[in-house]
Amino acid sequence: MRNPIRLYMSMSLDGCIAGPDDRPGQELGRDGGRLFNWLDDRDSDGPSGQVYREALATGALISGRRTFELARRWQGDHHDGVPILVLTHQVDEGDVPPGHARFVTDVHDCAHQARAAAGDKPVMVHGASAAQALLRAGHLDEMEIHLIPVLLGEGRRLFDHLGTNHIELDLVRRLDDRDVTHLRYRVRRSEEAA
């Protein structure tokens, strides 16, 4: 695939991407920082360093609105000035996102704009709602899940609101590192799953 739309997400074994009570000032929820300990090795030559460098080599970013706001809008630059497309249900009049960010209300248009902006590079996706919307619309191609060996028990779950459709995945890469297993899945299209 020329430029896949790929989710990058740290997740506990019980499916949480943030601890309970995630909000401004406590963006990762209670104990949610545990999901990002693997980033201590992001500058290494090991698997976590490789995955981190790949993430920063993406050519555009799709984010859910909640993630965008909790990240303080990344001050308009997630990495290297790449376009940030914020998938949202509505745009308030006068709300102009900073820097390289823009709001998009249609999931198909968002995917199209992101692929065009990324050129030959992959598109990064952040946020549960954006990932779910892209999956339901058939636009999410891959998932890079940073699986953390912890059970948070409660918190924000990545796949809570997907609906009842069956989605098949193919494991295309597994990289083990200290305190994390990086799993890359390719999303099978409905014609492949049949």
Alpha-carbon gap, residue 191 to 39, rounded angstroms: 37
What is the per-residue pLDDT across 167-189, written as a single tens digit (0 to 9) for each? 999 999 999 999 999 999 999 98
- pLDDT band of residue 166 (cuts 50, 70, 90) is confident
Inter-residue long-range contacts of 98-104, CB under 8 Å, 24+ positions, other chains counted: 98/73, 99/74, 99/75, 100/76, 101/68, 101/73, 101/74, 101/76, 103/65
Partnered with residue 26 across adjacent β-strands are: 23
pLDDT of residue 192: 58
Taking Cα atoms as reference points, which of 162, 139, 137, 170 lies closest to residue 60? 139
Partnered with residue 8 across adjacent β-strands are: 144
What is the per-residue pLDDT across 12-68, written as a single tens digit (0 to 9) for each? 999 999 999 989 998 999 999 999 999 999 999 999 999 999 999 999 999 999 999
Torsion region of 186: left, alpha or beta (phi above 0 gives left; psi -120 to 50 gives alpha): beta
Is residue 140's pLDDT more than 60? yes
Alpha-carbon gap, residue 88 to 90, rounded angstroms: 6
